[in-house]
A and B are shown apart, each in its own frame.
Chain A
Amino acid sequence: AEDTLKKIKETGTITLGHRESSIPFSYYDDKQQVIGYSHELMLKAVDAIKAELKLAKLDIKLMPVTSSNRITLIQNGSIDLECGSTTNNTERQKQVGFSTTMFIIGTRLMTKKDSGIKDFPDLAGKNVVTTAGTTSERLLRKMNEDKKMGMSIISAKDHGESFLTLETGRAVGFMMDDALLYGEMAKAKRAGDWAVVGAPQSYEAYGCMMRKDDPAFKKVVDDALTRAMTSGEVNKIYDKWFMQPIPPKGLNLDFPLSDAMKALYKSPNDKAYE
C-alpha cells in the first residue's frame, strides 16, 4: 500500500477533497470558500498531520469532488483525504479506507408541511425523489419492492436537483440523510413551508475517506478526530453548524444532537452501520 505520510512529507503538499453543496458538511459559501462541519474536522486532521511530520509549512490544495468521482480520485491519488458526507459502508471498504466516524445520520423524509404526509407509508402510490447513488435510494427502492407500495421513484443527479423536484411539485417527498435535508431547507425559497418527517429508515456513519491499507496515515487522522470529540471541542463545532445561523442565508438548522451522536462523541469508532 501507499505511504501517504511519506508522500506528503516529500512534496510538502496535501490535497483535500471536498463537496460543493453538502450543507452543512462541506460546501461553498457565497465567496466560493469551502466551509462546513466536515471541513473543519478535516482541517483539524491536517493540523495533526503537519505536527506529526514536523513540517514548518504544509501546502493545502482543495479539489471539489462529486459523489460519482470521489472514490476514483482517492484511488488514483488525485486526493489524499476527503471529508464531506461520505457514508462508510462495507462495499466501499473494499476500495478505500475510512477514518473514525464523525457524524451519524438517519435517513428520513422531507415534505411540504401542508401535504398531509407524515411518514413513509403515506407515500404509497405517489412520486418520491431521492438522490442517485445514495443509501436512501437503495432503501427506498427496496421498501417499494418489499411492501408493494407502488411509489414512482425519481433519482435526481444531486441534492439540489432532488430538492428542486420536490419544490416544483414533481414529488411529494424527498428521502435523504436528515442532516442534509435540513441543509437543503436552509437554501429554500421559503424554508418555513418544509418539514422533515418520518421514522429513520437507517442510520449511517459519515467518515473521512482515504486510501486503503495505510495504517500510519489513518492513525494520524483518527487520533485527531478522536481527540476533537473526546475533548469536547467538537461540541462547539457542532453548535456552530447545526444550532446557529449558517451561510448562505443565515438560516438556523436547529438540529439538536441525537442520542446516537452523543454516544459517538463519548466513544469514537470507525465502524460502519449496517
Chain B
Amino acid sequence: MYELYEFDWSSIPGALPFLWQGMVVSLEITFVAVVFGIVWGTALAIMRLSSVTPLSWFAAGYVNLFRSVPLVMVLLWFFLIIPHLLESLLGFPRGTDMRLGSAIAGFALFEAAYYSEIIRAGIQSVPKGQMAAANALGMNYRQAMQRVVLPQAFRNMVPLLLTQGIILFQDTSLVYVSALADFFGAAYKVGDRDGRLVEMLLFAGAVYFVICFAASQWVRHFQKKLKTA
C-alpha cells in the first residue's frame, strides 16, 4: 500500500540563490532575444513587404523555415553548430563556454521570425491612406515609414509584442537541452539532486504563473490605456 505523496518543501530555501541565478539567466535570454528579435524582425518585415523580390523571398524563406521547426530542435542545432561557427568566424578560442551565447542566439534568431510576422501585420494594419497622405505631403518612402507608418504600427503592436515576450520567457525553460541552468533548469536540478522533483516542479510552476500572469495583466492594462489615449 502506497501512501499519499508526502510533500517536503525544505530544499527550497537553501536553493534560492541558485534558483535566482537561474532566473537571471532566463531574464537575460528573454531580454536580449526580445530586443534583438524586434530589431531583426522589423528588418525582416520591411524586407518581406518590399517590392524587391529577392529581399522579400529571403525574408519569407527565413520566417517559414524558423516557424517550421520546433524551438527545441533549433536550440539543439544552435548549441551544436554555433560554437563551431563562432570559432572559425571570430577566432574564439575553442572550448569557450558558449551555452548562454548560443542559447541567446538561437532564441533571438528564432523569435525574430515570429516578431517579423507581428510587425508585418502591424504595418499592414495602418490604413493605406496614411502612406498616401504622407506621400501627398511630399514625404519620401523612408520619411513616411519612419514618421507616419512605423510609429502607428508599433503602437498597435505593443501588446502583441509584449505578449510574445511573455511566451518567450516561458519558452526559456526549453534551454534544458543544453544543460544550461535557467530558472526551470535550476529548479529541476535542485529537485533531482535532493530527490524533491515534485515539490520543485510545483514551485517552478507557481513562480512562472505569478510572473507571467502579472505581466499579462500589465499588458492588458497598458492596452486599455493605449486605446483610450
Q: Which size class do B's interface residues fall under?
A: 20 to 34
Is there an interface contact between A160 and B191, defined as CB atoms closer than 8 Å? yes
- Chain A residues within 8 Å of B189, by CB: 20-21, 28
Segment at the interface with A among B40-48, B53-61, B77-85, B116-124? B77-85
**Minimum CB distance partner of B3 in chain A:** A169
Query: Mask for A47-58, Cβ within 8 A of B = 1, else 0?
Result: 000000000000
Q: Is B142 an interface residue (CB 8 A)?
A: no
- Chain A residues within 8 Å of B93, by CB: 11, 13
A interface residues, tally (CB under 8 Å): 37
Is there an interface contact between A63 and B99, defined as CB atoms closer than 8 Å? yes
Is there an interface contact between B94 and A7, defined as CB atoms closer than 8 Å? yes
**Minimum CB distance partner of A66 in chain B:** B179
Contact of A61 among B87, B97, B191 (CB under 8 A): B97
Is there an interface contact between A248 and B179, defined as CB atoms closer than 8 Å? no
Q: Is B139 an interface residue (CB 8 A)?
A: no
Q: Is B129 an interface residue (CB 8 A)?
A: no
CA of A7 to CA of B177, assembled, Å: 28
Query: Mask for B181-223, Cβ within 8 A of A = 1, else 0?
Result: 0000000010111110110000000000000000000000000
CA of A167 to CA of B191, assembled, Å: 14
**Minimum CB distance partner of A169 in chain B:** B2
Q: Is B14 an interface residue (CB 8 A)?
A: yes
Is there an interface contact between A32 and B18, defined as CB atoms closer than 8 Å? yes
Query: Mask for B87-112, Cβ within 8 A of A = 1, else 0?
Result: 10000011111110000000000000
Is there an interface contact between B83 and A76, defined as CB atoms closer than 8 Å? yes
Within 8 A of A (CB), among B1-51: 2, 5-6, 8, 14-15, 18
Q: Is A126 an interface residue (CB 8 A)?
A: no
Q: Chain B at the A interface: mostly helix, strand, loop or mixed?
A: helix
Query: Mask for A135-166, Cβ within 8 A of B = 1, else 0?
Result: 00000000000000000000000101101100
CA of A168 to CA of B195, assembled, Å: 12
Is there an interface contact between B80 and A69, defined as CB atoms closer than 8 Å? yes
- Chain B residues within 8 Å of A63, by CB: 97, 99
- Shortest CB-to-CB span from B4 to chain A, Å, is 11
Given A28-B189, A189-B8, A13-B95 contact (CB < 8 Å)? yes
Is there an interface contact between A15 and B193, defined as CB atoms closer than 8 Å? no
CA of A79 to CA of B97, assembled, Å: 9
Is there an interface contact between B192 and A72, defined as CB atoms closer than 8 Å? no
- Shortest CB-to-CB span from B92 to chain A, Å, is 10
Q: Is A65 an interface residue (CB 8 A)?
A: yes
Q: Is B178 an interface residue (CB 8 A)?
A: yes
Contact of A64 among B94, B179, B194 (CB under 8 A): B179
Contact of B193 among A72, A77, A248 (CB under 8 A): A248
Q: Is A259 an interface residue (CB 8 A)?
A: no
Is there an interface contact between B195 and A15, defined as CB atoms closer than 8 Å? no
Is there an interface contact between A65 and B179, defined as CB atoms closer than 8 Å? yes
- Shortest CB-to-CB span from B139 to chain A, Å, is 51
Contact of A187 among B15, B95, B194, B198 (CB under 8 A): B194
- Chain B residues within 8 Å of A66, by CB: 177, 179
- Chain A residues within 8 Å of B179, by CB: 20, 64-66, 69
Contact of A78 among B2, B14, B95, B191 (CB under 8 A): B95
- Shortest CB-to-CB span from B102 to chain A, Å, is 10
Is there an interface contact between A30 and B193, defined as CB atoms closer than 8 Å? yes
- Chain A residues within 8 Å of B83, by CB: 76-78
Q: Can you give 5 A-B contacts (C-beta < 8 A)?
A: A69-B178, A78-B94, A78-B95, A189-B6, A248-B193
Q: Give 8 nearest A-B pairs by CB, closest first.
A: A160-B192, A15-B95, A187-B195, A64-B179, A169-B2, A11-B93, A77-B94, A21-B192
Chain A residues proximal to chain B, CB less than 8 Å:
7, 11, 13-15, 20-21, 27-28, 30, 32, 61, 63-66, 69, 72-73, 76-80, 158, 160-161, 163-164, 167-169, 184, 187-189, 248
Chain B residues proximal to chain A, CB less than 8 Å:
2, 5-6, 8, 14-15, 18, 76, 79-80, 83-84, 87, 93-99, 177-179, 189, 191-195, 197-198
